[in-house]
Structure 1
Amino acid sequence: MDSDIEKPAVTWAQMRAFFPHRPLAYHLHALPDLGIVYVKNPKAACSTVLLWLDRLHTGDLDFAPGNVHKEHRLPKVREIGRHKVARMVSGEAYTFTFVRDPLRRFQSAYQDKIVGSSGWRAEIQTALGQEPDEDRAVSIDDFVTALERQDPLVMNPHWRPQHINVMASLIRYDHIGRIETFADDLEVIRAAADLPAVPATARNVRSTKRVDLLADRPDLAERVRAIYAKDLEIFGY
């Protein structure tokens, strides 16, 4: 999805509209010294990309934080300036992001954030009209039903449609990479943006292959496809 077409002017206010309940600055990482902007898309290798960017920015190849989202040393939007970041997205910098097979991303979000972490269940239970109870399990059927009832704009970014997370209707990207071809896409970005070669160490990747939770549930898979229909169309999955 690379393009040589002139990028449209983008304002901070326009981007902010895609994140009505979360700080936009948490999802934009601009590096003026390198001339690049990364738009974070949760559940699409953002931990790995952030560590790669930290290494590019600092030159410290031994940095191994426990939580790269909180401990990275990338410049903050408040340090750069909102208008400067908007100009970078509008054409002053090389802008990229990554996406993932929507059905795989959906399952990863469910397994990591709902099954594996009780703190996220309250959002789903509330959407179902239930009294929040972190100790009560949420089935995958319940998860799908909750997403069907939610406004996609205000969903948690970990399972919100990716075209909203990356503001696809607003931003003209220089490259949109895929997790399925991550190494090749990262090299495309590195070469096109004329970045130095630093290693990209995979973060938060499970060593064992996960079971496809939708393999024997064509009814549920069809409902999930409907939730992420626009992602499937826009990103060609």
Structure 2
Amino acid sequence: MSEKFTQRLITIRSHPIRYLFIPKCGCTYVKNLIWKLHTGSQFQNPLRIHVVDKDLPRASDFGLTSAHIRNEDYAFTVLRNPVDRFYSLYTDKVVGPGHKMYVPLRSILADKYGLDVSASSLTAHTKNCSILIEWIAENLQSEKDIAKEAHWTPQAYRKNLMWQFDLKLLLVKDLERQLSILLEPIIPNIEDMLKNLERNQSSKDFRREEVVTPKLRKRINEVFSDDRKLFGQVRDQWKAKPHMSSREIPRYREIKW
């Protein structure tokens, strides 16, 4: 496989861990773990771990091919319920502090589509989310206003990479436990290490369930329909075997489209 694909996988020198990161899918948490394994210490500003992406080794640095990685036990990615991922984008990059260090998404939505940047009521946030999902639907089709960006492109856009490397599939909602299951064979103290890691949790005064109405949820799942299929199958496999071993973690080859 050409280097442009293998360089997408973050790795470390001390362990055969290969990680494909997808924005808004627990990547702050996982990158902080990889940094600690790579350097032996915590990153000084855990929520800003993404600024050192270039300092983390890639699978391409070791001359690994897709054939090598497909036979490895610790090559993985992390998936998320598409509704939760969409809501995290909204609370972090649109109405949260994350918009200050991001593409001009918030200003475009406010200036051209009426998004209320000072929304304080649940109704206002629901309206904002409706504006956002309709804009994403158009942007994914035509790159309306700005180029498509990794924080809102579907997780399924990476399915060619998941297939090429036959990655193991973990879920954000149970990530600490699932990472422990995955890595315990090569990192015996992984549970203790994971307990002290930083998560990038958006601060908010409102719960997703209060903002995302059934109609809005349906629309999000329509726009991210492939993500819903992918997430649903992986979730069902984890539920079917709650006490699985590292070797039993579902791989992409088990996904049926």
What's the TM-score, normalizing by structure 2? Answer: 0.67
Q: Please name the residue that 1:220 is paired with.
A: 216
CA shift for structure 1 position 100:
1.3
Q: How far apart, in 2, do the equivalents of 1:53 and 1:146 lie?
A: 34
Matching of residues 28-67 of structure 1 within 5 Å: 28-60=9-41, 62-66=42-46, 67=48
Q: Please name the residue that 1:170 is paired with.
A: 164
Secondary structure at 1:41 match in 2? coil
CA shift for structure 1 position 65:
2.6
Q: How far apart, in 1, do the equivalents of 2:157 and 2:108 lie?
A: 22
Secondary structure at 1:155 match in 2? coil
Q: Deviations over 1:187-237 (max 9, x none)?
A: 111124x12424121322257774116756322221110111111111216
In structure 1, the gaps of 5 or more residues are 1-9, 16-23
**Contact 1:54/1:74 (<8 A) preserved:** no
**Contact 2:43/2:49 (<8 A) preserved:** no
Q: Deviations over 1:69-106 (max 9, x none)?
A: 1236854339815x426455343562111111110110
Q: Which moved more, 1:39-48 or 1:153-162?
A: 153-162
The answer as to 2:104 corresponding to 1:122 is: yes
Secondary structure at 1:160 match in 2? coil
Which structure exhibits the higher relative contact order, with contacts defined as CA atoms closer than 8 Å and separated by 6 or more residues? 1
**Contact 2:17/2:75 (<8 A) preserved:** yes
Match of 1:190 among 154, 163, 183: 183
Q: Please name the residue that 2:240 is paired with.
A: none
Distance 1:72 1:195, change over 3 A: farther
Q: Please name the residue that 1:160 is paired with.
A: 153
Amino acid in the other structure paired with 1:50: K
Q: Please name the residue that 1:179 is paired with.
A: 172
Distance 1:12 1:226, change over 3 A: farther
In structure 2, the gaps of 5 or more residues are 120-126, 236-257
Amino acid in the other structure paired with 1:65: N
- Higher helix proportion, which one? 2
Amino acid in the other structure paired with 1:178: L
Q: Please name the residue that 1:113 is paired with.
A: 93
Q: How far apart, in 1, do the equivalents of 2:67 and 2:50 lie?
A: 24
Match of 2:136 among 147, 151, 155: 147
Distance 1:179 1:150, change over 3 A: same
**Contact 2:109/2:131 (<8 A) preserved:** no
Q: CA RMSD in A?
A: 3.7
Q: Deviations over 1:158-190 (max 9, x none)?
A: 1221122463343311x2111111121011111
Secondary structure at 2:34 match in 1? helix
